[in-house]
Structures are given as C-alpha cells and as structure tokens.
Amino acid sequence: MKQYVYYSDFGARGNGVDCDFDAIIAAHESANETGAMVRSDKGATYYIGDSNRTAVIQTDTDWGDARFIIDDSKVDANRSVWVFRVESKLAPLDLTGKVQALNKGQERLNIELERTSLVLVEDDSARRFIRRGINANEGSAQNDVFRVDPQGQVNSNTPIIWDFENISALMAYPIDTTALTLRGGRFTTIANQAEREYRYYSRGIQITRSNVLVDGIRHYIRGEYDTGAPYTGFIYTLRCADITIQNSFFTGHKLYRLARDEKNPMGTYDLRTHQTLDIKIVNVSQTNDITDDYYWGIFSSNFCKNIIFDHVSFSRFDAHQGVHNTTIRNSQIGYHGIKLIGAGIALVENTTVYSGNFIDFRIDYGSVWEGDVIIRDSAFIPLRHNPDGIFVFKMQNDGQHNFGYPVMMPGRITIDGLSIEDLNMPSGYEGILLFENFNPSHNGDEPFPYSTTQELRIRNIHTASGIPFRITNDYLRKNLLISEF
C-alpha cells in the first residue's frame, strides 16, 4: 500500500490553467480506500472551476506550498457544492423515537452508544431565536448539540440547554478518536459576480468530521467588484466536535448590500461554525485591516458550545444564534466587535477591542446572556462615537417582542482590568457608559420583561480621559449590587 498519493498520480498538471479538479477528487477517493495521506505536488498551482462534485477527504492531507485557484466567476447553479468536504468514516445513528423527552440540564440519556458521540436533538414544534429588526424572521426550530458517552452520560461541559417536550429528530454522530490533519495550502477564491441578493456561495472546505486539525492554511480573495453574492464561509464546520484551526490566515469579504434595499448589508464570512462543540481558533489572523469597514466580519457561529479564540486578530467575533461558553484571550477584535448571544461563561482576557462598544449583546435576538461575563486585563478603543454615548456593553430590549426564550442581561459581570482609550471624544462628552440605556420607556408592564444584571464586580477600570465610567439607567441601578474586590 502506498503511504502517500499525489494529485499528479491521477493526472493533475498543476499549471494553474487546466482544471485539475477531477484528478483531485480521484486522489482523495483512492486515499480514502487505502488510508494513504494525500500530498500536493511541490510548487504546483491547481485550478478548480465550476463543478457539481465534491472532493471527500477522509485521510490526512498535506497541501504544502501548493496554490489552489477556486474560480467562482462562472459558478451559479453549483454555488452550494463544496469543493472539499472532510467526512468521518463512522456512520451516524438515528435515535429518533428512542427518547421521548429531554429536560434542560439532564445528565443522562436512557440510551447506549458504541462510542462517545455528538448528539443532535430537534423539536420542530418550538421556535427559538425569533429575530427582530431589519432581518426579522420566524426563528429556528429548537435544537441542541451535546456530547454523550457510550453509557448515555451527558458531558457537563456541553449541557442540554432547553426542555424538549416533543422530539422530532434525535441523531448521534460518533466522534473520531484519532485526529485528521489538513496542513498547508494557499487558496485563492476568484469571487462571484452574482446579483446582490441572499444566494449564499459555499465553495470552500466543509468539515463534518470530529477531531480535525487545520494547520497553516491561507485563504485569499480577488475579483470583488461592483456586485457579488455573499459566502457561507471558506471553512464551515457542521455537527462535529474537537476542531482546531491554527497558524492560518483568512480574508474578509467585501461588504455588499442588497440590491433591493441598500440599507441592508449582507453577512458574508470566511470562517463559520454551526452545531459544533469545542472549537479552538489559535494564532489566526485576517489578511485585511480589522478596522476597515469596507470588509465584512470574518467569523460567525450558530448553536455552538465552547468556542476559544487565542491569539486571534479578526474584525469580528459573532455568536449569531447562541453560544454556550466562549473565551477570547490574547486577541484583537476589530470594528464589528464582540457580538454575543447565549449562555454560560463569556471570558474576554488580555484582548483589545477596536469598535463602537466592547461587547454588543445582539439586539436582533433580545440582547440575551444567561450566565456570567468576565473581562480581565483588556483594552477598549472606541472607533465610532454614538450620539447616545460610548458603551462598554451595548444592549437594547423594550420587552415588546417574543424571541422564543426568556430575555436577560448577564446575571453577574466581573471587570478586573479594563483600559478605555476615550481621548478625543466629541464636545459634551461626560464619560464612558458602562451599559446602554436598554429600555428608556421601561414601565414595568412589558409583556416580555428583560431581567437586568444583579451583580457587578469591578477593579482597575482606567479611562484615558480621567472621567469615571457612568451607569445612568435608574431601573438597572436599583437592582444592581456593585462591589469592588
């Protein structure tokens, strides 16, 4: 058996002109059968054009110094066909009907599994994340992902976060015990020239296998002009666990607005995670300026647990439809800032945020965080001067909208070292506001009341202006215990 297979073994020319995709697919098919590693040819440039096929990766792959040109300029019908997909050889198990209900925080399922698995549960009769505002919608079916061992024990780091009275689907995706590695490679996407509408392009690497290491990958973009449709992400993780992306570079896409509504920017990403447990982004940067709002944010997530950023320089961290536990440390976050929705512990440590606020609890999902927020030894450099003030924590909720869940501010906030660079503020500046005035019309009769923070622990908050921070919301202050420690 060959230890390695090369793309050239299957006819790839690597000249950057002739399409090599059939040879790339064949190389991975052969390696998947034999267990061989796939290697690119040294110095090669592989051209990949329009195709309705995907190269399935099930073995280690070393792309080395090879370059890949993914040409989306003539792709339309196949825009949702991934170029690469990293798949497990372990088949998912359908458990639908074997469990009738689940409770929030339940520690054990009455099932047995062959191996530790990511379990996905859905209740399509319940709606969560019922979005409000410019992109309002009817929400998503209630779903959750968590780690379960062979005896049915739910891992305490990935708890069940909803009550499931009606289970419409229950699937177990086995977690591979050996790591699969993708290493190296310089990828350039020639961007699509489609109409400016929400028709997402998914023409990168989808990862549906657990226990994957992506090391040293680089992604660039060229050919963005007057019009273009958004991207799901160059790397997109789905229903998997234990993913590490390190020592890599990604690129922010140009910000396009809907042709029918110029006020509506379209989210477009280079790195996105969905229903993923325990993902680490380590020593990863973007190729364009993190403070340049010509480009959209790099990163977005939905329904994930335990996201860690360490030594990351991105224009954005966004927990779109909820994250349970997130850590951002030793990092720089640009103009889009840190956007949070979810629960658990949110820790920001030794991190500088260049944005309009330090943390933005997303207004369109109710500005909800069910848990604690901790800030340590970090810096806030306001880039935009909101007429209503500069906020450390941005949130709004007038209590008039049903988001599909109880809405609340973080129960406890700890700030242990925060430097605020608030020089050169507009005339009349009276100091940084710790909280936005989230509901100026509060009267106590809101149908969906917004619970406020109960405890604020503070130490070492410094402002460059020398003006102390302020809390102007009387309703919040009345219910808030403030202590120095």
295-322, pLDDT tens digit by residue? Answer: 998 999 999 999 999 999 999 999 999 9
Average pLDDT for residues 238-243, to the nearest whole number? 98
Same domain, 468 and 374: yes
pLDDT of residue 389: 76
Q: Per-residue pLDDT for 388 more than 80? A: no
Same domain, 143 and 240: no
| Cross-strand partners of 201 | 231
Give the end of a domain, one of 174, 206, 237. 174
Same domain, 135 and 33: no
Average pLDDT for residues 352-381, to the nearest whole number? 97
Average pLDDT for residues 332-357, to the nearest whole number? 97
Q: Is residue 372 part of a domain?
A: yes
**CATH number for the domain harbouring residue 205:** 2.160.20
Q: Is residue 86 part of a domain?
A: no
Render pLDDT for 88-128 as a digit per residue (tens, 0 to 9). Answer: 999 999 999 999 999 999 999 999 999 999 999 999 999 99
Q: Is residue 80 part of a domain?
A: no
Give the end of a domain, one of 131, 152, 174. 174
pLDDT of residue 427: 82
* Average pLDDT across the chain, whole number: 96
Q: Is residue 216 part of a domain?
A: yes
Render pLDDT for 195-214 as a digit per residue (tens, 0 to 9). Answer: 999 999 999 999 999 999 99
Same domain, 164 and 186: no
Top pLDDT among 29 and 478 is at 29
Contact 203, 72 (CB under 8 A): yes
Contact 319, 360 (CB under 8 A): no
Q: Which residues contact 432 (CB under 8 A, 6 or more apart)?
A: 389, 390, 391, 392, 420, 422, 463, 467, 469, 470
Contact 431, 469 (CB under 8 A): yes
Give the end of a domain, one of 174, 196, 222. 174
Closest CA to 456 of 470, 438, 442: 470
Percent of the chain with pLDDT over 90: 92
Q: Per-residue pLDDT for 386 more than 70? A: no
Range of the domain at 305: 180-484
Q: Is residue 309 part of a domain?
A: yes
Same domain, 168 and 190: no
Top pLDDT among 386 and 417 is at 417
Q: Is residue 88 part of a domain?
A: no
Q: Is residue 87 part of a domain?
A: no
Same domain, 169 and 185: no
pTM score = 0.97
Same domain, 246 and 296: yes
| Cross-strand partners of 281 | 245, 309
Strands 455-463 and 412-420: parallel
Same domain, 227 and 244: yes
The total domain count for the chain is 3
Q: Per-residue pLDDT for 24 more than 90? A: yes
Render pLDDT for 129-155 as a digit per residue (tens, 0 to 9). Answer: 999 998 999 999 999 999 999 999 999
Q: Is residue 65 part of a domain?
A: yes
pLDDT of residue 390: 87
Same domain, 9 and 158: no
Same domain, 236 and 309: yes
pLDDT of residue 264: 87
Same domain, 97 and 64: no
Average pLDDT for residues 344-348, to the nearest whole number? 98
Same domain, 166 and 305: no
Contact 19, 68 (CB under 8 A): no
Mean pLDDT is lowest, of 143-147, 164-168, 260-264, for 260-264
